[in-house]
Amino acid sequence: MSDLERALQAADDGLEDSLERLFALLKIPSISTDPAYRHGCREAADWLKRDLAALGFETSLRETPGHPVVLAKLQKPGATHVLFYGHYDVQPVDPLEKWETPPFEPKIVTVGGKKIIVGRGSSDDKGQVMTFVEACRAWKAATGALPVGVTLMIEGEEECGSTNLPAFLEEAKDDLAADTALVCDTTMWGPGKPAITSALRGLIYEEITIRAANRDLHSGMYGGAARNPLHVLSEIVAGLHDKTGRVTLPGFYDGVPETPEDVREQWRGLGLDAEAFLAPVGLSLPAGEQDRMIIEQVQSRPTCDVNGMWGGYTGPGAKTVIAAEAHAKVSFRLVGDQDPAAIRQAFRAYVRQGLPADCAVEFSGHKGSRAIQVPVDSPALARTREALADEWGVEPVTIGLGGSIPVVGDFKRTLGLDTLLVGFALDDDRIHSPNEKYDLESFRRGTRSWIRILAALAA
């Protein structure tokens, strides 16, 4: 057997032990956005540090103003060196009553004849991180060494904006030197169909508060006379799109490239039907730009979405008030050369223009990121394509991702690294939702895929 075959065999033989380790990590409630779970984030970081140290990595926890970063390095002089990124923090589990099993008590269940791992973080991102860790373990078990040098950087704040990561990258620049970055926080094209992500949309996130009266008002006394900020906010939000699904902000489409017709033709050949895409979430009609295919709407076109609206009384029963404040969270997904700062400015100007004289607005902006285009002609990407094809028996799809992974841009700006984005999640993994899952096949073959990719990059 070749070294590669021995490593693949080691992964298969050790699958049960690999799952035990994954379950141990999944049981840790590392919800980064909630201060009540700060201890869980520290526990998850410590667990990873110990596990990687046991594999022979030089490991440390690097403190930040938030949660620590796990840094682990194993040198291989004269060989290619890769930097792997993942995150150990997870989303909140709300609404808890929607979970069919406790979110931090992972288990394997069979659904439709298919075995799945159920639990918060199983897909995003602990299960994905552990496919890479287990690939390294298999190489060490089979040959005593890795085919390339490896640094793992696993952060604990991805689910709350990675606020402290850019400063950490700048501070740890020398420790993170590598030839290529690897990110396993993406999806496959579909079951049995691997994908390499070549483009990522950028992101702008805004919170707005509109205020009118100086207190909540009795609607029987003031209704009809007092300005209602919920009405004002509703009108502003409704005006963000026209009837064709286009965003109405002036200059919003500046820098948006038109997809070449030959690429559009390739996408048509993928057979992504709008009704089939939406059916699993209980929908049937696409709501985006009417002149665009569904695949364009979700990956290559910019978007605006209202992620939350609230104000006034929302408890049980009736309370007849006119709220003093109304709130909304709004996000924009960006493509091409769209400028996050310009879009933030345009959005705020639009909101101010929609305010009546008796109202005031307050904005709270989160970190913005530009869209990312990964070079599709790099030798590393070509070798990765071959490795994935060898494992899955089909050619992987090279395609864009509708989501945003800001660290990819940070890697390029701060470390000068291009990134290979290879993940094994599926669209139905219920990421960020109750009953998150990860297919057992995604975990098993994801590990095998990374074994092959490391061998291919060593070449």
Residue 98 pLDDT? 97
Query: Where does the pLDDT of residue 52 fall: very low under 50, low under 70, confident under 90, or very high at 90 and above?
Result: very high
d(CA 351, CA 372): 28
| 373 vs 127, residue with greater confidence | 127
CA dihedral 19, 21, 24, 26 (to 10 degrees): -60
Q: Is the Cβ–Cβ distance between 158 and 87 less than 8 Å?
A: yes
CATH 3.40.630.10 fits 3-200+372-458, yes or no: yes
Check pLDDT > 80 for residue 137.
Answer: yes
pTM, entire model? 0.80
Strand partners, 365: 206
Amino acid at 409: G
DSSP category for residue 74? E
Mean pLDDT of 141-166: 96
Residue 271 pLDDT? 82
d(CA 436, CA 122): 7
The least confident of 30-44, 219-233, 260-274, 294-308 is 260-274
Check pLDDT > 90 for residue 303.
Answer: yes
Strand partners, 369: 203
Work out the percent of the chain whose per-residue pLDDT is above 90.
85
Strand residue runs (E) in 112-229: 114-118, 149-155, 180-183, 195-200, 202-211, 217-218
Check pLDDT > 90 for residue 117.
Answer: yes
d(CA 198, CA 189): 13
pLDDT tens per residue, range 384-434: 999 999 999 999 988 888 877 889 989 999 999 999 999 999 989 999 999
Looking at the domain that runs over 202-256+302-365, which CATH code has it been given?
3.30.70.360
**In the chain, what are the domain boundaries?**
3-200+372-458, 202-256+302-365
pLDDT tens per residue, range 283-292: 999 999 999 9
